[in-house]
A and B are shown apart, each in its own frame.
Chain A
Amino acid sequence: MTRFIPPLVGVLLALFALWYIAVVPMNVQDTLTRAERAGVTVTPPSAVERRDTGALALVFGNTHALGESWSLDRPRLPAPHQVVAELYKSTVDEELNGRRGLARSGSLSTRGLLHHALITLNATALGFLIGTGLGILLAVGIVHSRVMEMSVMPWAIVSQTIPIVALAPMIIVVLYSVGVQGLLPKAVISAYLSFFPVVVGMVKGLRSPDSMQMDLMTTYSASTRDRLMKLRLPASTPYLFASLKIAIAASLVGAIVGELPVQKGGLGARMLAGSYYGQTAQIWAALIMAAALAAVLVWAIGAAERATLKRMGMAQ
């Protein structure tokens, strides 16, 4: 394992270096305005002219006045350390020292990132369960019924071609009109994204037994149920886990998208709020929290996969 550490660290350092460099042209307008206010001469001197000048030209024409690029209050692109600071402030600091934090109030602060991550996690988990269950059921139906294959599969494919951001508000409005709100609409959007990889993977998995294995079942005069329970489902397990890894990530995306129009908490709401108030560091902090959440979830599925396959004797 240790031989992987140098390249991993190398890639990470390169990414951070790129990020720090990109911060300069992204924030150059604001940086120069502040430098000008502080009495430094910048070219061109007029703010209007500067607005019409390219970012790179401004950077190279004012190399002496870029000191504040990485410490602006409202940067267009926050520097990595600013994002880390925001992450720390909205998690550890908020929970330990905040008025509504865990330490003082006994519950996670509603202003903290952890509270919002938990809201998103709930919707993700429920959506993932619904999506996976639905996906498996549809796949079983598709494998056993030609009619179902021809009638369901095209709609399943079409469903994934519609941009979810366009569909999410409609799902929320429709469900709200029948009295459903809160967790469930977000879970439905999340399930909408996650059922598809499960259907595709499970159809392939349920069909993975070769003709010899099916013939063997025939020689026992095995029922359709026996074939499903004793051959098709166990044979599809590796396919299921491959699908679940995609599905859990899709569920998370679905839950976040479902939180955008509602603004009642969650990482999605947090991201949108950040963009309303020009708090880019807050957006990035929420993004990184979402990415970390996704990484943990995919890892958890991977761990479950290893344990299950080992138990089944399929991992050597």
Chain B
Amino acid sequence: MTATPVIQAKHLDLTFQTADGPVHALKDVSLDIPKGAFVSFIGPSGCGKTTFLRCMAALEHPTGGTLTVNGMTPDDARQARAYGYVFQAAGLYPWRTIGRNIALPLEIMGYSKAEQNKRIAKVLDLVELSGFEKKFPWQLSGGMQQRASIARALAFDADLLLMDEPFGALDEIVRDRLNEELLSLWAKTQKTIAFVTHSIPEAVYLSTHIVVMSPRPGRITDVIESPLPHERPLDIRDTPEFIEIAHRVREGLRAGYEDA
């Protein structure tokens, strides 16, 4: 792997002050994410996985420790268009067509009209939504909407994709299909992906690295480097290797509970 990690967190702390006293959302979190990795964050609610992702996006600010994105502070990295963010819900603007939704970041970032159209066509092709450019979001299924929101995050040239449970609201069949597509997208684009999930099979199937987290205080309990090959058909989930990693993730999650 290359020398400088895309994400480098050292002894990261984040404490929210609430009416019931301080809540330790993150405590002493250290992690390096190498370039080109697919890292999943898994853990129960309140383990800080989303908070960690939001710190990378500079949507939250750590109260202690250091965090760099591409060697910069998260704020600077955001200014430098370092990442695309995909939320739990597609969050497409209902008054914009799919094409115009994807154009939204491009408009804000000042791309020319011609460049916008070129990029819209390119990312729609990547997420297999070509031909839906002129449709409004309500005319698309939930899975297609989420694909459009991934296209929106890919439209500008960020090398890092931050995804916060993007498939959490979808049914399992659609989710399987999107997982497969996401892997092929990752292979095609060579992006670094940080992916928050609740699902053990999803984490194991997608990731090169699985980060197991536990709550109160939010911390990392295990980092598993997956021995699975890059090329992963869906039936890899029935192999002994896959089941073994899933088992290790489950053990890590259980250990986190027993500590707390």
Contact surface of A with B, Cβ cutoff 8 Å: 212-213, 215-223, 226, 230-231, 234-235, 237, 312-314, 316
Q: Is the CB of B91 within 8 A of A230?
A: no
Query: Which 7 A-B residue pairs are closest in the complex by CB-CB distance?
Result: A313-B136, A312-B95, A219-B85, A220-B108, A234-B95, A220-B105, A222-B108
Report chain A residues within 8 Å CB of B167: none
Report chain A residues within 8 Å CB of B138: 313, 316
29 A-B contacts, Cβ less than 8 Å apart? A212-B87, A212-B88, A212-B91, A213-B91, A213-B93, A215-B59, A215-B85, A215-B87, A216-B85, A216-B87, A216-B91, A218-B58, A219-B57, A219-B59, A219-B83, A219-B85, A220-B108, A220-B109, A221-B78, A221-B79, A222-B108, A230-B104, A230-B107, A234-B93, A235-B93, A312-B95, A313-B97, A313-B138, A316-B138
* 9 other A-B residue contacts (CB within 8 Å) besides A212-B88, A215-B59, A216-B87: A213-B93, A218-B59, A221-B78, A221-B79, A230-B104, A230-B107, A230-B108, A235-B93, A313-B136
Which of A221, A222, A223, A237 contacts B95 (CB under 8 A)?
A237
Asked if B250 is at the interface of the complex by the 8 Å CB criterion, the answer is no
Closest to B54 in A: A215
Which of A212, A220, A316 counts the most chain B CB atoms within 10 A?
A220
Bound Cα distance from A222 to B78, whole angstroms: 11
Q: Is the CB of B95 within 8 A of A226?
A: no
Bound Cα distance from A20 to B78, whole angstroms: 74
Report chain A residues within 8 Å CB of B96: 313
Report chain B residues within 8 Å CB of A223: 108
Report chain A residues within 8 Å CB of B81: 221
Asked if B224 is at the interface of the complex by the 8 Å CB criterion, the answer is no
Report chain B residues within 8 Å CB of A312: 95
Report chain B residues within 8 Å CB of A230: 104, 107-108
Closest to B137 in A: A313
The smallest C-beta distance from B102 to any residue of chain A, in angstroms, reads: 12
Closest to B104 in A: A230
Closest to B153 in A: A219
Task: Determine the main DSSP class of B at the interface with A.
Answer: loop
Closest to A213 in B: B91
Are A314 and B89 also in contact (CB < 8 A) when A215-B59, A221-B78, A222-B108 are?
no
Task: Determine the main DSSP class of A at the interface with B.
Answer: helix
- Number of B residues near A (Cβ < 8 Å) is 25
Closest to A226 in B: B108
Asked if B233 is at the interface of the complex by the 8 Å CB criterion, the answer is no
Bound Cα distance from A312 to B137, whole angstroms: 12
Asked if B94 is at the interface of the complex by the 8 Å CB criterion, the answer is yes
Which of A213, A216, A231, A237 counts the most chain B CB atoms within 10 A?
A216
Q: Is the CB of A314 within 8 A of B94?
A: yes
> Which residues B81-130 have CB closer than 8 A to chain A?
81, 83-85, 87-89, 91, 93-97, 104-105, 107-109
The smallest C-beta distance from B168 to any residue of chain A, in angstroms, reads: 13
Closest to B88 in A: A212
Report chain B residues within 8 Å CB of A216: 85, 87, 91
Closest to A312 in B: B95
Report chain B residues within 8 Å CB of A237: 95
Bound Cα distance from A75 to B104, whole angstroms: 66
Closest to A311 in B: B95
The smallest C-beta distance from A312 to any residue of chain B, in angstroms, reads: 4
Bound Cα distance from A314 to B94, whole angstroms: 6
Bound Cα distance from A218 to B108, whole angstroms: 11
Report chain A residues within 8 Å CB of B95: 234-235, 237, 312-314
Are A212 and B109 also in contact (CB < 8 A) when A219-B78, A221-B78 are?
no
Closest to B75 in A: A221
Closest to A219 in B: B85
Give per-residue flags for B199-241: 1 if the beta carbon is below 8 A from chain A beta carbons, else 0: 0000000000000000000000000000000000000000000
The smallest C-beta distance from A136 to any residue of chain B, in angstroms, reads: 18
Bound Cα distance from A97 to B93, whole angstroms: 58
Bound Cα distance from A265 to B78, whole angstroms: 62
> Which residues B131-189 have CB closer than 8 A to chain A?
136, 138
Report chain B residues within 8 Å CB of A219: 57, 59, 78, 83-85
Which of A226, A230, A231, A313 counts the most chain B CB atoms within 10 A?
A313
Which of A212, A220, A231, A234 contacts B89 (CB under 8 A)?
A212
Closest to B97 in A: A313
Closest to A231 in B: B93
Closest to B96 in A: A313
Bound Cα distance from A215 to B58, whole angstroms: 10
Report chain A residues within 8 Å CB of B58: 218
Report chain A residues within 8 Å CB of B108: 217, 220-223, 226, 230
